[in-house]
Structure 1
Amino acid sequence: MASKKWLLLAFFLFTTVLSDTTDITNLIAFKNSLGNPKPLSDWNPDVEPCNLDKENWTGIICGKNGSVLGLQLENMGLTGTINMDILSEIPSIRTLSFANNGFGGSMPDVRKIGLLRSIYLSNNNFSGVIGNDLFAGMSSMRKIEVQSNKFSGRIPESLTGMSILVDLQMQDNEFEGEIPNFEQKRLKVNFANNRLNGPIPRGLMNQNATSFAGNNLCGEPLTNLCKISKHKHTLKTFIVAIVAIIIVLTIIVLSLLIIRSKTKPKNNYKYQQTTKLNNNPYKFNTNEIQMHHHEEDEEKNPKRSENGGKLQFVRGDRERFDLQDLLRASAEVLGGGSFGSSYKASLLGGPAVVVKRFREMNNVKKEGFYDHMRRLGNLSHPNLLPLVAFYYKKDEKLLITDFAENGSLASHLHGKRKPNESGLDWPTRLNIIKGVAQGLDYLYEELPNLSLPHGHLKSSNVLLNKTFNPLLADYGLTPVVNKHHGQEFMVAYKSPEFTHHDRTTTKTDVWCLGILILEMLTGKFPANYLKQGKGGSSDLETWVNSVVREEWTGEVFDKEMKGMKNCEGEMLKLLKIGMCCCEWSIDKRWDLKVAVEKISELKERGSDEEYSSYTSDGDAYSSRAMTDDDFSFSANLKPT
């Protein structure tokens, strides 16, 4: 066995050295292909180009592992043509910059480096037509700068298919014809001073008007309107007629559906949540993660970086990795929520982690964001999902956490089960709610300055590890989440106090805990969580209140909850705790400490004598069970 390990290690070292030697050979060959290579006189084949992330050769961009990530050969008076065949033999290259030189010839064939993320060719002597499909399939490309050359012909259509392209500079050339329709939402373009004509496409109407100056263009954002020909007017009339027909047909179909729906039962909570959980609209694409791996040249050249950074670890007890490790890891989509998508990344030779994308986190500046993330990283409790690391960018953030093997509580309560698979039993549910309460209590102690220590407590944010121990997720994020987005989607803003008085208090998270308790006991999903904006009255608590006010019946509990023998009394206690946490009146609502204390006292089974009034068929609770001295319960769930 030892000899096999030695052979593997020797093979790894041999292939690494061979790769480095090959890179050196190719770089020297590229240097020799240039018309004026004197500025690269320190490219010495006897010296490694990179010493880890430090460059030994001029113009080389190095990665942390010593690989060559790119070339930054700017303002060097270099001439000749760019030999992409040689550069394509260096597999680690991701960015190329030859700006402000004397290169000529046609546009380099960038497709030969399929994973290229940025190309900078501005202020050279390139000319000719750029092939219409030159950029087809280049899904990793983010930045293209070809301004101040002599390119001609039409703007390539293949540019419109680059989903993560954010910067396209093509001004001061000789491009002609109409501009194709770009639909990338974050894209910034500049087509000024060319020979373009026609209307500006709808997808670019949000750009600055100066980006289209010096052409024969019309329409927004320019002040000159486009003239509509008679042919276009006739076409418009035809389109209006078609739309009118479609609207009439739609009304007829909707009317039939409404009539049909009246025969179906209302308030089908489980159907709503199961549909939400079992029809995942996300399809995994590695580019979804790659778009966050910002070019190393942005670190070398801060002028090009909007606000990029490195992966920031907030825990000292985790093995370190970087964004390249995440890119190399096998990944799968876990789902999408109100903040963004989540991915499971299985690191090579390491643990699985979860990468969650956040786009609505600009409530604080960079320094404030860093401070808050470090504060969350210092939290440590058996019932909190640990924050491992984070990545900061102005318009987008990544949070990396541990992976919970058994998924979310919501998936177990409302998701589709395999044949013969039972739901969560009572002992498991009791253990989960005890852990949730303890984790929430810890957040209250460690984040005393936040009125919402959690802010987004719901069943999909309660994760379960391999032993079904609960882990609270997405906690403590209200200070960094954009205010409007938070009020649209976060659970705390569905509370009665925010719905009616536009405020939250230190008891708002207690209300969320109460709703979670009712959800666990009944198996019904709080349908008002699916609504954007203020929550209004909760369908779940209203339903529970209507049932218990008429008669304390066993039908309130989830029929799929097993292990209920001799435990009805304890279940009733937990139901009463949940309802006391759901009080609409903040003054009457329990404090968290009281709720945690009562929950901790619960047992899996109670005594037969104490709850002998519970009928043998489980259909009704007696009034004596309602007046237990341990609870001062008013059941005032909704203002009269």
Structure 2
Amino acid sequence: MGSRNGPFSHTLLVIHVLLVVTTVFSDSTESEKLVTFKRSLLKAEALSNWITSAAPCNGDKENWRGVICGKDGSVFGLRLENMALSGTIDMDMLAELPGIRTLSFINNSFEGPMPDVQKIRLLRSIFLSNNNFSGVIRDDAFAGMSSMRKVELQNNKFTGRIPRSLSEMKILVDLQMQDNEFEGEIPDFEQKNLKVNFANNRLYGPIPPGLRNQDPSSFAVVFVISPLIFRARTTAKNGYKYQQTTKLDKNNDYKTNTKDIEMPSYEEESYKRTPNGGKLQFVRNDITEFKLHDLLRASAEVLGGGSFGSSYKATLANGPAVVVKRFREMSNVKKEEFYSHANRLGSFSHPNLLPLVAFYHKKDEKLLITDFAQNGSLASHLHGKRKPNEPGLDWRTRLSIIKGVAQGLDYLYKELPHLVLPHGHLKSSNVLLNDAFIPLLADYGLIPLVNKRHAQKFMVAYKSPEFTYHDSTTTKTDVWCLGILILEILTGKFPANYLKQGKGGSSDLETWVNSVVREEWTGEVFDKEMKGTKNSEGEMLKLLKIGMCCCEWNIERRWDLKAAVEKIGELKERGSDEDYSSCTSDGAYSSRAMTDEDFSFSVTG
């Protein structure tokens, strides 16, 4: 018996030794790779027990904090939540752990683009919510990830369109993308048992057929006013029926084709119970006051989502149409400061300012309510699609608009002398036009209210040369914005560097104009859609030169606002071809010919 069992026992012993050696070697490999991964993280004190002398797992029990262990003793996932972590998520190193199936980095301080989850093809779930991730997610970011069931990206700063590859994951059951800055239309999802949330983004268009069984709050544009945007009704035939706005014209901030939307009474009651009773603070006496629930009952149109937040038009019963703008980036301003500044803005009265009607303040919600401008934004008329044979803005209208803009800006300088940037965000989409095409400046005087980091990322004053290269602004910075606006009005070209987040670098529009007129002042730069220019080219050239003097990079030579307003006011619809060339700081022109120095882009002062 003993002789017969000897070889068998020996074989078992060898197998056992091999298994032990393999397990120890595997644990050692996982330990080393995870420690290497840890080195890519900042503020990783919470992971102090991640050391190579100990295995991450003991069977299916974790030895290391934040490690999820599989039944076979390998690392199945990471749950690194609420640890104040930052730095880089090294997906290359994690991809070398063959057992990884789930990753969670909820509620940390990670920034930058989304990690490349495609490197772990068999990943089943990814949780990145409550961080500071930003940027566009590639459309194919989830392509081929057939095992993915849960994706949570909410409460970050992602932009761009929702990746279509998400809709191609057949077994996806949970998709949370709310509280970001996604824009565009929602792709269709046909997965069964899928739960989604796209609320509080900049999305538009119809709810796709595959998602019409979802809770309507999952598509709300604004939390406080979400009932205005979507409504659900129980019907005998179709169950839930949705009504919402149709697709926005992305080139027009204030024009959309929409359907009327109402709010059901049970949601209205919930807003009556808000901490301040849903009270609006009115700043004008020439309008009949209304309550927040009147707005909630009104028919509404989504107007779009800009760099500050979402806007919609509400048509009150037996009352005027107003625009409600929800601001997302004012959390740092105190209530007393908000009230004081909003009341100050509400006291302004000028024919070229969009009047403030009322405001609403809560800790997590700030609304500004203004008049509605019937003819949309200047940007929509310069760059939006027109109907066949519909003329562009003629010279007379463009001249009238820029004169009104200059007058409105001059008024802001006088009323807000304590602000270096009385406007701060002067661009064509913030110049609105009433029924008579009189320009109305919008989004003015907001610098004291908007969170500084957000302001410097999006507001056009921070695209100026002085801020790009010297991190400073001056009382001439709004004049630089005026100069770029003048060039945009005359050329019909959009200043594309405004689309860049953060510092603007060189102005592509200004550079192009300079390149065309460097050798000879010519009308080649003017918008070919601009009609009514007969006998007007001389005045148009004057305005072109005024624009260039306003956006002069050399701050010492750049005109101040007083000089710009004076020269713009002297312009006529038709006039002589007076010959003057370069700018001087006192608002005059030198008679000498332009030289390369006049077109140099050095910044001084």
2:590 counterpart residue number: 632
TM-aligned CA deviation for residue 536 of structure 1:
0.5
Maintained 8 Å contact 1:585/1:636: no
1:401 counterpart residue number: 370
Maintained 8 Å contact 1:278/1:416: no
The reply on whether 1:342 has 2:311 as its aligned counterpart is yes
1:291 counterpart residue number: 224
TM-aligned CA deviation for residue 315 of structure 1:
1.0
The 1-side partners of 2:304 and 2:345 are apart by 23
Using a 3 Å threshold, how does the CA distance of structure 1 residues 384 and 500 change in structure 2: closer, same or farther? same
2:172 counterpart residue number: none
The reply on whether 1:351 has 2:320 as its aligned counterpart is yes
Using a 3 Å threshold, how does the CA distance of structure 1 residues 219 and 632 change in structure 2: closer, same or farther? farther
Maintained 8 Å contact 2:203/2:221: no
TM-aligned CA deviation for residue 557 of structure 1:
0.4
The reply on whether 1:332 has 2:301 as its aligned counterpart is yes
Using a 3 Å threshold, how does the CA distance of structure 1 residues 424 and 488 change in structure 2: closer, same or farther? same
The reply on whether 1:374 has 2:343 as its aligned counterpart is yes
Within the candidate set 45, 62, 70, 1:228 is matched to 70
1:587 counterpart residue number: 556
Q: In structure 1, what residue type is equivalent to 2:589? A: F
1:538 counterpart residue number: 507
Q: In structure 1, what residue type is equivalent to 2:601? A: K
Q: In structure 1, what residue type is equivalent to 2:543? A: L
TM-aligned CA deviation for residue 632 of structure 1:
3.3
Q: In structure 2, what residue type is equivalent to 1:638? A: F
* Unaligned runs of at least 5 residues, structure 2: 1-59, 77-97, 103-116, 124-139, 145-182, 187-201, 207-215, 227-266
- Any idea what SS the aligned residue of 2:345 has? helix
TM-aligned CA deviation for residue 227 of structure 1:
1.9
- Any idea what SS the aligned residue of 1:550 has? coil
Using a 3 Å threshold, how does the CA distance of structure 1 residues 544 and 334 change in structure 2: closer, same or farther? same
Determine which structure has the larger helix proportion and give its number. 1
Using a 3 Å threshold, how does the CA distance of structure 1 residues 627 and 452 change in structure 2: closer, same or farther? closer
Using a 3 Å threshold, how does the CA distance of structure 1 residues 228 and 630 change in structure 2: closer, same or farther? same
1:501 counterpart residue number: 470
1:100 counterpart residue number: none
The reply on whether 1:315 has 2:284 as its aligned counterpart is yes
Maintained 8 Å contact 1:457/1:491: yes
TM-aligned CA deviation for residue 310 of structure 1:
1.7
TM-aligned CA deviation for residue 335 of structure 1:
1.2
The 1-side partners of 2:420 and 2:61 are apart by 49
1:447 counterpart residue number: 416
1:425 counterpart residue number: 394
2:204 counterpart residue number: 282
Within the candidate set 480, 484, 491, 1:522 is matched to 491
Within the candidate set 570, 577, 580, 2:539 is matched to 570
TM-aligned CA deviation for residue 368 of structure 1:
0.7
Maintained 8 Å contact 2:374/2:434: yes
Maintained 8 Å contact 1:360/1:396: no
Within the candidate set 392, 404, 418, 1:435 is matched to 404
Q: What TM-score does the superposition give when structure 2 sets the normalisation length?
A: 0.57
TM-aligned CA deviation for residue 359 of structure 1:
0.9
1:465 counterpart residue number: 434
2:524 counterpart residue number: 555
Using a 3 Å threshold, how does the CA distance of structure 1 residues 393 and 598 change in structure 2: closer, same or farther? same
Q: In structure 2, what residue type is equivalent to 1:291? A: V
Using a 3 Å threshold, how does the CA distance of structure 1 residues 219 and 574 change in structure 2: closer, same or farther? farther
The CA RMSD measured in Å over matched residues stands at: 3.5
The 2-side partners of 1:277 and 1:537 are apart by 28
Maintained 8 Å contact 1:519/1:526: yes
Using a 3 Å threshold, how does the CA distance of structure 1 residues 548 and 561 change in structure 2: closer, same or farther? same
TM-aligned CA deviation for residue 351 of structure 1:
0.4
Maintained 8 Å contact 1:582/1:637: no
Instruction: Provide Cα deviations, 1:142-186, integer angstroms capped at 9, x if missing partner.
Output: xxxxxxxxxxxxxxxxxxxxxxxxxxxxxxxxxxxxxxxxxxxxx
Using a 3 Å threshold, how does the CA distance of structure 1 residues 563 and 299 change in structure 2: closer, same or farther? closer
Using a 3 Å threshold, how does the CA distance of structure 1 residues 426 and 247 change in structure 2: closer, same or farther? closer
Instruction: Provide Cα deviations, 1:15-50, integer angstroms capped at 9, x if missing partner.
Output: xxxxxxxxxxxxxxxxxxxxxxxxxxxxxxxxxxxx
Maintained 8 Å contact 1:308/1:394: no
The 2-side partners of 1:401 and 1:308 are apart by 21
Q: In structure 2, what residue type is equivalent to 1:486? A: A
TM-aligned CA deviation for residue 229 of structure 1:
3.4
- Any idea what SS the aligned residue of 2:312 has? strand
Using a 3 Å threshold, how does the CA distance of structure 1 residues 478 and 637 change in structure 2: closer, same or farther? farther
TM-aligned CA deviation for residue 319 of structure 1:
1.1
2:384 counterpart residue number: 415
Using a 3 Å threshold, how does the CA distance of structure 1 residues 241 and 397 change in structure 2: closer, same or farther? closer
- Any idea what SS the aligned residue of 1:479 has? coil
- Any idea what SS the aligned residue of 1:398 has? strand
Maintained 8 Å contact 1:308/1:393: no
TM-aligned CA deviation for residue 362 of structure 1:
2.4
The 2-side partners of 1:249 and 1:314 are apart by 52
Q: In structure 1, what residue type is equivalent to 2:385? A: K
Paired residues, what number? 378
Using a 3 Å threshold, how does the CA distance of structure 1 residues 240 and 601 change in structure 2: closer, same or farther? closer
1:107 counterpart residue number: none
Paired-residue identity, %: 70
Maintained 8 Å contact 1:308/1:392: no
1:361 counterpart residue number: 330
1:33 counterpart residue number: none
